[in-house]
Amino acid sequence: GAGVSQSPSNKVTEKGKDVELRCDPISGHTALYWYRQSLGQGLEFLIYFQGNSAPDKSGLPSDRFSAERTGGSVSTLTIQRTQQEDSAVYLCASSLGPLSSYEQYFGPGTRLTVT
């Protein structure tokens, strides 16, 4: 079946602009995660959605970052007033449910470059 998909694959934006990154999880997966991969910080957790529960936003680095998940499926990560330090690969993952034993399946990521 289809895996996790993300769009766009690459995004170049000017400092100060807003960007939206999209994630389509595997069909039937109720859990969705966003991670950021940057040279300076490595791979870090950003946010987690599980069904209709309130998301775990504990990893969001600032209030310029927000995410939503509509209809329990597609998720959008929004970065407002982008800064150069936001340049990174943003990875999305999904899993069957909230159990820690469930594998997280990753998408190919979106490479964001802020100029």
Residues at the site binding another protein, with contacts judged by CB under 8 A: 31, 33, 35, 42-45, 48, 50, 56, 59, 89, 91, 93, 98-101, 103-104, 106-109, 111
Taking the complex as a whole, how short is the minimal distance between the CB of residue 106 and another protein, in angstroms?
A: 4
- Shortest distance, position 108 Cβ to another protein, whole Å: 5
Is the Cβ–Cβ distance between 25 and 49 less than 8 Å? no
Question: How does DSSP assign 63-92, residue by residue?
Answer: TTEEEEEGGGS-EEEEE-S--GGG-EEEEE
Give CA–CA dist 111/61, Å, rounded. Answer: 18
Of 25 and 107, which CB lies nearer to another protein in the complex structure? 107
Nearer to another protein, 12 or 80 (CB): 12
**Coil/strand/helix, residue 24:** strand
Q: Which CB sits closer to another protein, 66 or 104?
A: 104
Q: Which is nearer to another protein, 45 or 113 (CB)?
A: 45
* Of 98, 87, 100, 99, the residue nearest 10 (C-alpha): 87
Q: How far is the CB of 42 from another protein (least distance, A)?
A: 5
Largest interatomic CA distance in the chain: 40
Q: Please state the closest distance from residue 101 (CB atom) to another protein, in A.
A: 7
